[in-house]
Amino acid sequence: MISVEEALARCLALVAPLSPEVVPLAQAAGRWMCRPAVAKRDQPPFPASAMDGYAVQGNPGPDDNFVVIGEAGAGHAFGGEVGPGQAVRIFTGAPVPRGATRVIIQEDVVRLDDRILLKDGLDAGPHIRPQGQDFRAGDSLSPRRLRPNDLALLAAMNIPAVQATRRPVVAIVATGDELVMPGEDPRPDQINASNSFALQAMIEAEGGLSRLLPIARDTEAELATVLGLADDADLIVTIGGASVGDHDLVGRVAGLEHSFWKLALRPGKPLMAGRLNGVPMLGLPGNPVSAIVCGHLFLLPMVRALLGRPDAAPQYLQARLTTDLPANGPRAHYMRARLLPGDGLPGIAPFDRQDSALLSILGQADALLLRPIDAPACHAGDTVPYLPL
């Protein structure tokens, strides 16, 4: 058996970042921006008023008065200059007129026709945002998966489109005579195909595009036909048929050399990987929980690598165990668990039932608690690694 780490390294060696494409900002949410974005202007692009009030010169005090010579609003700059004893009515976001060094907030002013009188208890703040306070022209935003907040920043940087990695197309092929689609009428010896829908959602949440192909029945001819539909995909994922039984045809039909591995992992022991007509291919076990766990450990890292993300490997977090656990055996155990509020680190509670066929337990879980190979017994309060779900 090989370790999860070795299997992951072999899977990642099959894939490389896809080419970039220009994506309009309005369509860039969730995309992996693979090139830095450089600001084209300062923000704010001029000294701007932070409050509604009056722009004046110097450092006036209570009872000082000024003649109002004009007005400045957002998008409507005052074209003149403010001199001693003069004021310009100004609103939040408006450019501060030349000569003005301070904005007196309107609450500290008494307006008398075309003059203002300053009150006692005058606020001391200048209330002016300097040009470039937020960022300067030439500042850059590093590659990342774009969130809504990033889109606002890019728009303020006057960037209408970004360079994003093309979204990888992942073809999903479920195999087996025992499978029928949800909503069909299964025979007593059949089950509903379920793994495909979880993997499809995982791929798309990670930034890929999924293509759900027809179920491939247990004949070499039909499996070859369905696999042939995936020739233009960036990654092919099969579910089932990754073992050594008489009906496990995927490895034989796909013709992957040295592709079958027995992993030191539970749930999930059989895994295949290689290339099919030049396309990277990953063969997941058919057991429901095993397929989804292996999806988190191997499939999603391959999708991230196709996007060019530097954090392709699973990113483990830390939590405090809420119960004692016995020593682990020769396979890494990814236990379905529930996260609980904690002081500092969250708590983590593994479910009592860990049978790999129990999708109901997986549906309740929000974490996979990792018990490494040959890990000693651990106790409530110990810090343990986990993967969020």
Q: Which of 220, 241, 259, 247 is nearest to 11 (CA)?
A: 259
- 287 touches 242 (CB < 8 A): no
pLDDT at 247: 40
pLDDT at 63: 87
The mean per-residue pLDDT over the stretch 157-183 comes to: 91
71-95 pLDDT tens trace:
999 999 999 999 999 999 999 999 9
- pLDDT at residue 246 greater than cutoff 60: no
Q: Which of 37, 34, 36, 27 is nearest to 306 (CA)?
A: 34
Place of tokens 């993300």: 309
β-sheet with 144-145: strand ranges across: 20-24, 161-165, 32-33, 144-145
Place of tokens 């066929």: 357
- 241 touches 175 (CB < 8 A): yes
38-61 pLDDT tens trace:
999 999 999 999 999 999 999 898
- 94 touches 87 (CB < 8 A): no
In whole angstroms, give the CA distance from residue 8 to residue 301.
Answer: 8
User: What is the length of the chain?
Assistant: 389
| Collapsed DSSP state (helix, strand, coil) of residue 256 | coil
The mean per-residue pLDDT over the stretch 293-322 comes to: 97
Estimate the crossing angle of helix 195-205 against helix 300-307, to 10 degrees. Answer: 30
